[in-house]
Structure 1
Amino acid sequence: MRNTLKFSIIIMVAVISVTVFVVKYIHQSFSDEVVQEKSDQEKAEEFAEKMKPKIEERLHEEDIHNFIRTITFDKGVNVNPMGYIIIRGYINGNSEKYDFSASLEYRSKEVGTMTFSPELSYRFKDWDKFKDEPQLKENYLKRLSEKEREQYLKDIGEK
């Protein structure tokens, strides 16, 4: 009977020890994954910070009418499922009308695709390419209110 009791106690101590070890191991593994995720996000943010001058350069290349006065970047970045780092921002203090986003390629250290809000895109439009189709510009201007039309023409340097 004593041997059975001793054997039972030894088995219980062994089971408890193994359980504690497994719980600690699982907890440590989970903690390592959380730390890894944070460091990936931090790496993405550091990379985006280094790439901001290249993004600004690209924006100025698109800005044929010298519309850009200020460029503001949103805080934080996103990493999409394809691994691209997405940074967003806006032009001239107007986050609703003149926003943009840039996808950054970490491996090649390049600015990938950039997207612009429709209003910002029109500020970058080179109407000289449409000399044979002047109606395109007229149609665009007609859809604007008088105030918006004057502002647009001012923004592209025609007023």
Structure 2
Amino acid sequence: MSFSKKTLFVGVIIVFLIGIVYFNHNQSSDKSGGDHSVNTNEKNEQQKAEEYAEKMKPKIKEKLKKDDIHHFVNDITFDKDVSISPMGMIELSGYVNNNPEKFSFDVSLRYGTDKVDSIGYDKDLADRFENWDDFDKEVKEDFLNSLSKEEREQYLKDIGEMK
């Protein structure tokens, strides 16, 4: 191979390598632009979730009131944070009677169904929703005996059995 053919061959290799580097650089730039679009879509999905959660709050309140057979709930407060679970459920939480430590709840909504999929209650709140008619008398007595005197009195007041 002569010198000019070797030079031409090396030149073609260099141009080819520069082309590969340039092409890879442009692809990585496109990816970051694509990520930016995904972030914008996520923000839009977040906004949709927040709007849907706001729309569903009256139905959530209705469900809480329905589960509150002892008429314990006076006030319902929703936390500001709304999230989307990995399974696509819209998640929000709140509490009742101005007591987030004892009487909190978590709600799961499926976008577009216009119904409350599930509500999970803190143990103390779930206890106040308990229908003791579904149990033997001894079960309720055992539960009440597991509480301190102050807790027992407060519980009985909360479910309307003591003034």
TM-score (norm 2): 0.83
**Cα deviation 1:28-78 (Å, max 9, x = unaligned):** 111101111111111111111111110000000011111001111111122
| Cα distance change on mapping 1:136 and 1:8 into 2, 3 Å | closer
**Cα deviation 1:103-127 (Å, max 9, x = unaligned):** 1011322110111111111101111
Where 2:116 maps in the other structure, the secondary structure is strand
TM-score (norm 1): 0.84
Corresponding position of 2:47:
42
Corresponding position of 1:105:
110
Corresponding position of 2:73:
68
Corresponding position of 1:124:
129
Range that drifts further, 103-112 or 149-158: 103-112
| Cα distance change on mapping 1:126 and 1:19 into 2, 3 Å | closer
* Structure 2 alignment gaps of length 5 or more: none
Corresponding position of 1:135:
138
Deviation of 1:24 after TM superposition, in Å, equals: 3.6
Corresponding position of 2:96:
91
Range that drifts further, 56-65 or 107-116: 107-116
* Mapping 1:140-159, distance limit 5 Å: 140-159=143-162
Alignment-mate amino acid for residue 57 of structure 1: E
Where 1:69 maps in the other structure, the secondary structure is coil
Counterpart check, 1:77 vs 2:72: no
Looking at structure 1, the residues matched to 94 and 56 of structure 2 have their Cα atoms a distance apart, in angstroms, of: 13
Looking at structure 2, the residues matched to 139 and 10 of structure 1 have their Cα atoms a distance apart, in angstroms, of: 85
Alignment-mate amino acid for residue 159 of structure 2: I
Looking at structure 2, the residues matched to 9 and 79 of structure 1 have their Cα atoms a distance apart, in angstroms, of: 50
| Cα distance change on mapping 1:152 and 1:17 into 2, 3 Å | same
Alignment-mate amino acid for residue 156 of structure 2: L
Deviation of 1:22 after TM superposition, in Å, equals: 3.1
Larger radius of gyration: 2
Looking at structure 2, the residues matched to 15 and 65 of structure 1 have their Cα atoms a distance apart, in angstroms, of: 73
Identity, in percent, stands at 42
Question: Quick one: which of 40, 55, 59 aligns to 2:64?
Answer: 59
RMSD: 2.3
**Cα deviation 1:129-155 (Å, max 9, x = unaligned):** 33xx11111101101111111111100
Deviation of 1:20 after TM superposition, in Å, equals: 5.8
Deviation of 1:26 after TM superposition, in Å, equals: 2.1
| Cα distance change on mapping 1:127 and 1:15 into 2, 3 Å | closer
